[in-house]
Structure 1
Amino acid sequence: MTIFDWSYAWEILPQLLLASVKTLQITVLGFCIAVVVGFLLTLARRSSIRALAWSASLFVEFMRSTPLLIQIYFIFFVFPSFSINLSAMQAGLIGIGLHYACYLSEVYRGGLESVPKGQWEAVTALNMKASTAYRRIIIPQALKPILPPMGNYLIAMLKETPVLSAITVVEIMLKAKNLGSESFRFLEPITLVGVFFLIISIALSYAVRKVEYRLERQK
């Protein structure tokens, strides 16, 4: 008896590939949210307005100290009590985006602090606008140290997308479980899902290394 049924695996592969599109969509959109919100949180934490800095720091620590699953449950099941009704996809994107935004805010903070103090003093001495200083002076220098951890969090986000199946977002893992429940064969769908995550994770790691290499050569 063959343990792994290749004919069944080929039969369900198109369905899993279709579901994988949703997984990649969640990853890309969620990461975009995390990149933008994370940077805004970093700026808020560096603000001279104490109430804003304290609130941003409290939010970051709270999100980093509680599980992603609980946060997603809260957004999807509790928000309607406050007349905020979101679809499963919307709740999942907001949840995973905000969760990783808090981690990226720490990455940004470390990157900004790695910029030599003299650069900050030069920007101040030139009376340069904050937006111009960040765009032309600070961010280009902070980019190199923050890129590797950002890539790591992108891969981590990809691997955490199955958490969204808890609120019925039909990504690749939930599709695999549904297929297994229908056929009573879980080996093939779960194995294919594992291969999918392995291939995409390796591809993302390679892409991040290529970007790092290009930045290194530009110096």
Structure 2
Amino acid sequence: MDQSRFETIASDPHRTQAEIESMYRNALEKGETECAAIARGILDSRFPKASKRGGSSIPTTVRFRHDTRTFASGKDAYLWLAQAFLSSRDDALDRYLSLHQRGGKRRGGYRFARRPNDLFPNDSKHQCNTAHYSKLATGCYAYTNLNNSDKFAQLIQLSYASGLEFPDDWEFQPETATNDLNERKEMVALGRKLLDELFGTETAS
């Protein structure tokens, strides 16, 4: 379903919590992560107490170089790492944006940007909703309505733009990791192993 139409339907004030949760689950099952994020944001905004009872905050341990910390939630850990990445290289955000601009602006907006509006589609009703993003000390904004697997995917992109490597330079480890997150980590590790073998073979020859 088109994201704009999905958001219009999910934002209907007469729609119940159960209906929005059903939309959220259906979007995930179909692989429509942007729509799922919209539904989750609406749930968090309209039913914050229910979200807390659902245990949405998972203690998460992160590492940046030799600094290891544990945060009460994946969101706090994600923001701390993003800040560390951006602070490690002056042009990190420019490089990140350049990677995405080569293929045109994302339909769902960027995940890191200089203006909060750039985090959302142009017609999104959440552009002024601070529950969906946070401002970092570097002055840029980070979209935060992501599950931990998607947070990791965004950190991979930002770390690449920052000239950092996983897991040598950083780690992101929720206390309870989903299969999706573990699979993404395994794919990154496998990709690096293949590159190491490729360059090792070329060097040897």
State the TM-score bracket (shorter-chain normalisation). under 0.3
Q: Which has the higher helix share?
A: 1
Structure-1-length-normalised TM-score = 0.23
Structure-2-length-normalised TM-score = 0.24
Q: Which has the higher strand share?
A: 2
Structure of higher RCO (CA pairs closer than 8 Å, 6+ residues apart): 1
Question: Based on CA coordinates, which of the two structures has the bigger radius of gyration?
Answer: 1
